[in-house]
Structure 1
Amino acid sequence: MSKNKIVIVESPKKAKEIQKFLGKDFIVEATIGHFKDLPEDELAVDLESFEPKFVIKSKKHKDILSKIKKIAENSEVIIATDPDREGYAIGYFMFEELKKKTKDIKRAEFHEITKEHIQENIKNALPFEKTNFGLFNAFLGRRVGDRIVGYIISPVASREIGGRYSVGRVQSPAVRLIIEREREIQSFIPKAYYLINTTLTKSNIDFNAFYTENKKSIESSKIEDKEVAEKIYNQIKEEKFAIVEKIEKKEIKKSPKAPFTTSTLQQTANSQLGFSPEKTMQLAQDLFEAGLITYHRTDSTRISEKAIIGIRELIKQLFSENYLPKNPRQYKSKNTQADAHEAIRITNFVDIKEQENLIKEKGLTNDHFKLLKLIYERTLACQMADAIFDRTNVWLKIGDYTFGTSGSILRFSGYKAIYEDEEKEETIKLPSLEKGEKVEIKDIKIEEKWTKPPARYTEGSLIKKLEELGIGRPSTYATIIKTIKDRGYVIKEGNSLKPTENAFHLIDYLNQKYHWVIDYEFTKKMEDFLDEVEENKKNWKDFVKQLYEKSKPTKINGVSKKMLDYALDLAKKHNIDITDILEHPEKIKEFINQYADNKPSEKQIAYAKSLAEKTGLKLDDKILQDKKAIKKWIDKAKKEAMKNYNLSEKQKNILIKAGKEDLLQNPEKALKWLNSYLKKYKKK
């Protein structure tokens, strides 16, 4: 019997790192992610009580659980799975499994994998019974609610649209956003507009000024009427000088952005490094487990006082005290709940060369370093002084018309010494100018330009929009985007997300039949509801009940679009008017049964013959003449063929590596899973 303290985490890599800090009195074990889940091949939810049926995911997970149960007997157990809903759910399932085996089960949360933090949090671990079970209830609401929506609506949508369609509480509104943007692009009609600009010169410095209608602004004015633009141009094209009318000088201070949250890290890594949200989260997971960054699933922009001291000290070493604001910067999170966590920041307050050495020591890749460098730069920048620009705005008169120009000079780099925002303040040098002086005109041009349609969403800009609308939560964005790509609703063209034909069909269908699924406001309300479940203010079953009431079918004998189209095609082929029966499902079915072509396709016949050779099953000519009969025979023959099917060694190895050993004895399910896995692998 073990007298050690047992610490349970999800990941073997994290377990190995933590073991180093805790010594021989502790045993650190990993669950390898979720060891319990709803089974893939059934609804597994009682539709009256909404109680779910969770099962152990695989043989590998059963073996891990048996091992943990054995060593945990009569020991002190500390469950230290991730500090979010999903992590807590894994911990709760483990608590349920172990509470009869051992009397003392505690909960610790690790927000960074560093020696001091781990030891302190182990020391302050709480009895599991005193932790917030609302986290588990919110997990239940999301998991069970999403399962009900998917399992009830997806088959109905597939049948009625015709094809294989997947409906999701959060994924479908994301697809709707992409479809709406695509329709904006398709309906966009470009319009011409005109700009008039001039190149001026003084003291060997050339600079541009633009025609502006607004005397207070230096922004160039778009002239929509070609005749008006040509009239202005013709009146000034012979002018040799511009007269300086007004000069405005001001100091512009630019403050750094807040440190990274999950959402802003995904957006920035996508736009600056070209990483998909899924890749960013995987790299961040590795960096967290290696002890190089704080926990990467967070809405918070708060940085601990202790960390701020380390960051400020590093800034002083690398730059000077001039680069430090007098007081540390404080960033407020959007919700108070988020402040339980910290922002995503570095955990080792050393320079970038040392950060790179740490990456090498941990055996991580160059992509890990790129992401760590981004986090390092943002961590330092968020505690640095403002960048200061000297900006000069100048208004000039050419003939009777006003032109504007602006110059900007960086006087003090501040945070920009380490981190460059995406919205850059360009350095544009103007010559020394005085009010009333003449400036030589080198050139005056009229330019025709065309309005552009809105851009397609990138993965980063889609995340930004989802966050704005309150759809999903930052920790789920990567999964949402991966799902809509894997299901074939979007494809990537360059860095943009382009919807497929199936996405249009699905959204049009949902818009008519299940609009609530893609209603942004309703989806946001559901996310807010789950937040209240987490805070123990609402019941998770009420969340699920709402979704079930909306999902369950109201029409039993509806006419699907596919059936209607088929009936109309038959009517046309046989020159029959069926207008009077279009609203009567049973009459439509009778019409189809009477006039449908019941002969099987050549492809079906060839496939049936090949199955007959493999299985030795009898295939009558009568079956080869009947569509329904041949379909029934093929289904039977496929099952027979599967009895003697042997998985190859390569196929077995893939299943074992993926933790799918339970499928080794079921070739039919194994092949189905392998087919899905290989499709995803090819896309990558």
Structure 2
Amino acid sequence: MSEKKIVIVESPKKAKEISHFLGKDFIVKATVGHFKDLPENEMGVDLNTYEPKFVIKSQNHKKILSEIKKLAEKSEVIIATDPDREGYAIGYFMYEELKKKAKEVKRAEFHEITKEHIKEKIKNAIPFEKTNFGLFNAFLGRRVGDRIVGYTLSPIASREIGGRFSVGRVQSPAVRLVVEREIEIQNFKPTPYYVLSAVLSKAVHELLYTFTATYENSKIENKEEAEKIYLDIKDEKTATLKKVEKKQVKQSPKPPFTTSTLQQSASTVYRFPPEKTMMLAQDLFESGLITYHRTDSVRISEKAIDGIRNLINKEFGKDYLPEKIRVYKSKNTQADAHEAIRITHFVNLEGQKKLIQEKGLSEDHFKLLKLIYERTVASQMADAIFERTNVTVDIKGYTFKASGSILKFKGYKAVYDLEEEQEETQNLPDLKNKDVLNIEKIDLEEKFTKPPARYTEGGLVKKLEELGIGRPSTYATIIKTIKERGYVVKENGSLRPTENAFHLIEYLNNRYNWVIDYSFTKKMEDFLDKVEENKKDWKEFVRQLHEKSASKQDVKISKKMLDYAKDLAEKHGKSIEEIKDDPEKLKEFIDAHAEKNPSQKQIEYAKSLAEKTGLKLTDKELSDRKLLTKWIDKAKKEIMKNYQLSEKQKNVLIKYGREDLIDNPAKALKFIKSKLSRYKK
């Protein structure tokens, strides 16, 4: 058997990149994502012991595992899957498969894919037995707990609301946020307020400078008061300057990016959905251009700070370097084991663009890298310095105020000056106490309070983080899931809840309020953090969720169920007045009167499937909607058994790192369709 060392990572792209650095003594293999998971069509969890049944995901994964096992025979294996819970879980499953075959199994964590870092981490790899198994236990708690909640509550919700509904421990609170914001908007009643402003001017060296001052009470709520002041001063021609205050204001740069702040910025600046940001960041990480992209740390290593400061000095000069290096503290101390998301090559923007081209990456990859480059560099630069002038003006005994800012020193804004950071300001002329100013005009404007805005995807990520719901690896998945399940739609860059979202939240509020309770969801996320630190037991986490999911609640009637029953009653000339408050009797009424015949469209579709598959289609199925739906699902699976993906379709999957779907045509087609429909938009 070969003396070569085997290094195991998740992605083929990452494997290829790493193999360039390690040379001929190493073989680098990819698991192609999670190769084990809970089964797709069953609970897969023993509800007495909470032991999960993990299965190999696909034929492709079986083949990959078999190859890795052969290579690992009596060899040294280094498992170098991602440094978070999901990555560790893939590594742990691989460790279980190889520990009896390999000579030794070690663990290395790569936080960036650069030659020096990879070699150092491989050299310092530790025996897998000495790693923190708490990471795997936290993964188990989340995966098993979420499976129990989803598999227990989704069928109940679907049956009782009427339709197809999915309930999730973290996705449902996210839907609640969007629904509650929409209710706020719907219930909002605009109230008027009044703004009194004066356009003032001063001549300086024959040039006329104008600026706007606003009445000291910037929002006057009483119309009579506003009109009284306006009528009193509207014919005034001059104003007197009572006070001029000048002060220097410093503005410090923001910390480098975390997963959440990167998703927020990319959403604001480029309108990238969080899942797109994470897909691009994954490619940038695997190509060795940024550090690991799932992190809530704002720390930068000392070595990287040296590289950033040298770059600043070279590009902008020593004035742009603060005397002391900037140190940022993460919200939780645990996060500081990792680094923030930063560039790995300390070259200017032109250099970053060349790297993107060398790696064969796209324009969108460059856009995201540019954002990370600017934020990384700015985070170690000097403050921006403004001169802020505040003036107080007297118009016939009434006080008006104006302020203006002039940028005196760009500092970090020389590299990172996004619209999201810019403040509205005006240039003021050189003003002195007791100056007499001309009044060009006086305006009284009626304005109305505005409703809160709908969440953008970035705004929702920010809110989830504030509430402690989800973690860096899950924000993008949460938002992607609630879009795919049809609970929210993207409209003009914002998220609008669908009718089903309202039905779901109304139902959960009445029946399973704990699922959408923000503080409970946060408490359970904190519990998982404690499991990771080996301070809590993952089975206790699952037990709490199971007990809550299985607890019998009084059945309440949803609006959708009642409306459906009313429609059926009208159609059949019946009255439901006596039973409309009795859930069981209402359900019996719906079952007895619901349309049992399939639609003509459904019948024609079934007949076309029968021709393609040769499956028998009986009159009994053609006359019963439920039976026909079941038959159609069976026929569709039959078609998929022999369906061959085209080379073009396979290439799409490879492009997005989803080779794991090649042996699952049904899922592959669904994935390809979602990608194509996103780009058509």
TM-score (norm 1): 0.92
Instruction: State how far apart, in whole Å, the 2-side matches of 1:663 and 1:287 are.
Output: 27
Deviates more, 1:11-20 or 1:465-474: 11-20
Contact 1:298 1:338 in 2 (8 A): yes
Aligned to 1:209: 212
1:66 aligns with 2:66: yes
Contact 1:173 1:517 in 2 (8 A): yes
Tell me: CA distance 1:253–1:69, structure 2 relative to 1, closer, same or farther (3 Å): same
Once the two structures are TM-superposed, the CA of residue 299 in structure 1 deviates from its matched residue by: 0.7
Contact 1:199 1:206 in 2 (8 A): no
Residue by residue, what CA displacement relative to the aligned partner does 1:387-442 show, whole Å, maximum 9, x if unpaired? 11111100000112111111211111111111114221456322222211211111
Instruction: State how far apart, in whole Å, the 2-side matches of 1:114 and 1:644 are.
Output: 46
Amino acid at match of 2:481: T
Describe how 1:74-223 pairs up with structure 2 within 5 A: 74-202=74-202, 203=204, 204-213=207-216, 221-223=218-220
Contact 1:9 1:15 in 2 (8 A): yes
Instruction: State how far apart, in whole Å, the 2-side matches of 1:106 and 1:435 are.
Output: 74
Amino acid at match of 1:211: T
Of all paired residues, the percent bearing the same amino acid is: 66
Contact 1:257 1:382 in 2 (8 A): yes
Instruction: State how far apart, in whole Å, the 2-side matches of 1:640 and 1:364 are.
Output: 41
Tell me: CA distance 1:171–1:77, structure 2 relative to 1, closer, same or farther (3 Å): same
Amino acid at match of 1:173: P
Tell me: CA distance 1:594–1:311, structure 2 relative to 1, closer, same or farther (3 Å): closer
Contact 1:2 1:73 in 2 (8 A): no
Instruction: State how far apart, in whole Å, the 2-side matches of 1:358 and 1:598 are.
Output: 62
Amino acid at match of 1:115: K
Match for residue 364 of structure 2 among 367, 374, 389: 367
Instruction: State how far apart, in whole Å, the 2-side matches of 1:623 and 1:291 are.
Output: 57
Describe how 1:345-360 pairs up with structure 2 within 5 A: 345-360=342-357
Aligned to 1:462: 460
Contact 1:291 1:347 in 2 (8 A): yes
Aligned to 2:263: 266
Contact 1:345 1:379 in 2 (8 A): yes
Aligned residue for 2:199, secondary structure, equals strand
Aligned to 2:313: 316
Instruction: State how far apart, in whole Å, the 2-side matches of 1:613 and 1:683 are.
Output: 33
Aligned to 2:54: 54
Match for residue 336 of structure 1 among 330, 333, 337: 333
Describe how 1:546-625 pairs up with structure 2 within 5 A: 546-552=544-550, 554=552, 564-569=562-567, 571=569, 578-582=576-580, 587-588=585-586, 601-603=599-601, 617=616
Contact 1:211 1:401 in 2 (8 A): no
Tell me: CA distance 1:211–1:565, structure 2 relative to 1, closer, same or farther (3 Å): closer
Residue by residue, what CA displacement relative to the aligned partner does 1:48-90 show, whole Å, maximum 9, x if unpaired? 1111111111111111111111111111111111110011001
Aligned to 2:385: 388
Tell me: CA distance 1:505–1:681, structure 2 relative to 1, closer, same or farther (3 Å): farther
Contact 1:197 1:208 in 2 (8 A): no
Compute the RMSD of aligned alpha carbons.
Answer: 2.7
TM-score (norm 2): 0.92
1:228 aligns with 2:225: yes
Aligned residue for 1:473, secondary structure, equals coil
Aligned to 1:436: 434
Instruction: State how far apart, in whole Å, the 2-side matches of 1:29 and 1:246 are.
Output: 72
Contact 2:266 2:272 in 1 (8 A): yes
Contact 1:655 1:663 in 2 (8 A): no
Instruction: State how far apart, in whole Å, the 2-side matches of 1:380 and 1:651 are.
Output: 45
Figure out how many residues of one structure are paired with residues of the other and give that number.
Answer: 669
Instruction: State how far apart, in whole Å, the 1-side matches of 2:322 and 2:486 are.
Output: 49
Amino acid at match of 1:254: Q
Describe how 1:530-545 pairs up with structure 2 within 5 A: 530-545=528-543
Contact 1:491 1:500 in 2 (8 A): yes
Contact 2:39 2:55 in 1 (8 A): yes
Aligned residue for 2:145, secondary structure, equals helix
Tell me: CA distance 1:617–1:71, structure 2 relative to 1, closer, same or farther (3 Å): closer
Once the two structures are TM-superposed, the CA of residue 320 in structure 1 deviates from its matched residue by: 1.3
Instruction: State how far apart, in whole Å, the 2-side matches of 1:346 and 1:434 are.
Output: 48
Deviates more, 1:608-617 or 1:526-535: 608-617
Amino acid at match of 1:551: S
Once the two structures are TM-superposed, the CA of residue 350 in structure 1 deviates from its matched residue by: 1.1
Aligned to 2:276: 279
Tell me: CA distance 1:579–1:651, structure 2 relative to 1, closer, same or farther (3 Å): farther
Once the two structures are TM-superposed, the CA of residue 375 in structure 1 deviates from its matched residue by: 0.9
Aligned to 2:513: 515
Once the two structures are TM-superposed, the CA of residue 272 in structure 1 deviates from its matched residue by: 1.1
Contact 2:610 2:635 in 1 (8 A): no
